[in-house]
Structure 1
């Protein structure tokens, strides 16, 4: 009995030491002084959440690739902002338009990735972003995206970028359009750890539950709390229950006082989504630590 307790204690100490070491290693990787983020890879220029968009953003000199993730029926992490195949910019596997009323038939959480990747999310004209370059392209797996990005960085000599990965989930959609937070985080972290990029990762969410799971089980991972409500910084942090690495509000909610409050708590402020030179100048004047934009070229020299 005593031997079993001793072994169990040693195991706990080893796990704790490993997590502490990982957290320390991540802190050694400096985060950009001013973080320039390509929203969904820069959807003003290229099809959103696709590999070509991310590589283009790297060419533009951004520091962070911002992206959204969902989980497929076969438990794979897929890049997509929407829980359905979006008919506004997607075509069916046979190249036809998708009636908006049919979108719920194509819920990613109910489809295997082999079927998801057959949809074309880059050829159709997207009126919201008329300058977006058109190409036939699929929703990628996060694992494939990481492989392409890391290979491109190595071959081109470009600086290492950060990955700001959003968990797209809500409590009302648990087990309907997304898995429960513990499962979502586990599937996401399995990819991140397998690809050995945790030191370059920030995980963001509007869903505090996924961030809470990360803070408890993966404390070495930087987190970003996405904010769209009018609660105070103190109220949101109390609701979250811990201090995130980044506080990421809608840019319309940003002001110098909010930035000051966050900085006093050691939290970086990176608002979204800022798409004009005038807004960018205003955000910088408020003292923000970065900007997320659909037009990453506006953020770089």
Structure 2
């Protein structure tokens, strides 16, 4: 069985301030396989790394990310991050270039829910300049955005559609798989609560790679590892690494978690 890959979600959001350079530096010291983060555009078209379209939750400022220029964002401090400001994609790419980690970049939309014009072109240029284009996986909850990235040969098919729980509830697993296949997307990511042996087997019979997101807590991590998922994102990469090591050494898992029937 191929080893399940671990991605440090937002740089390890349980352990360090999410999407901060502090979190990314700490992640770079870990033997994880990928680092996950989110990208938006500033008012002057610079690619910046932050999860929400608004500054309110994670910074000391308020309002849409896209309303401020990069120079203005440089003055916005992240909450609890010891003075860190909103990082740029160029900074994150430069930090991880000396490491073996893959970048796992989620495409976000603006405050009104609309895709940023030219986002693919802008971040491809940044990654190419940093020498990290071929070490980047693209993810999105928006299937059209994932399909757009898939159509760009520079990303060489390294695209994952993240299936939201409402989407999965409305379409069903077979419907979600059908949508992925129709768009050509080679991989989907499911919420950890929607992952069970049947779901994984169904995705793989359809020829799709399958990953999991929101994988936090020892029982959930053990469950996902036991399914042989291809890759998962976690806010606690330290715990995930320890549990993967336990699995590789044949230590018995803790039982008791039950995945939902889909």
TM, length-normalised to structure 2: 0.83
1:115 aligned onto 2:72: yes
Per-residue CA deviations over 1:5-35 (Å, capped at 9, x if unaligned) read xxxxxxxxxxxxxxxxxxxxxxxxxxx8321
Q: What corresponds to 2:10 in structure 1?
A: 40
Q: What corresponds to 2:260 in structure 1?
A: none
RMSD over aligned CA atoms reads 2.0
Aligned residue for 1:164, secondary structure, equals strand
> Which runs of structure 2 are paired with 1:84-233 in the superposition (5 Å)?
84-86=54-56, 88-92=57-61, 103=62, 106-123=63-80, 134-151=81-98, 153=99, 160-169=100-109, 173-174=113-114, 178-180=115-117, 183-218=118-153, 220-228=156-164, 229=167, 230=169, 231-233=171-173
Q: What corresponds to 2:26 in structure 1?
A: 56
* Distance (Å, rounded) in 1 between the aligned partners of 2:105 and 2:58: 22
After superposition, the Cα gap between the structure-2 partners of 1:42 and 1:171, relative to the gap in structure 1 and judged at 3 Å, is closer
Deviates more, 1:47-56 or 1:216-225: 216-225
Deviates more, 1:263-272 or 1:46-55: 263-272
User: What number of residue pairs does the alignment pair up?
Assistant: 235
Per-residue CA deviations over 1:148-171 (Å, capped at 9, x if unaligned) read 2224x3xxxxxx001110001279
Q: Which runs of 5+ in 1 are unaligned?
A: 1-31, 93-102, 124-133, 154-159
1:287 aligned onto 2:228: yes
* Distance (Å, rounded) in 1 between the aligned partners of 2:210 and 2:202: 10
Per-residue CA deviations over 1:108-163 (Å, capped at 9, x if unaligned) read 1121011012111142xxxxxxxxxx422111000111112224x3xxxxxx0011
After superposition, the Cα gap between the structure-2 partners of 1:63 and 1:252, relative to the gap in structure 1 and judged at 3 Å, is same
- If you compute each CA radius of gyration, which structure gives the higher value, 1 or 2? 1
Q: What corresponds to 1:3 in structure 2?
A: none
Aligned residue for 1:47, secondary structure, equals coil
Q: Which runs of 5+ in 2 are unaligned?
A: 243-262
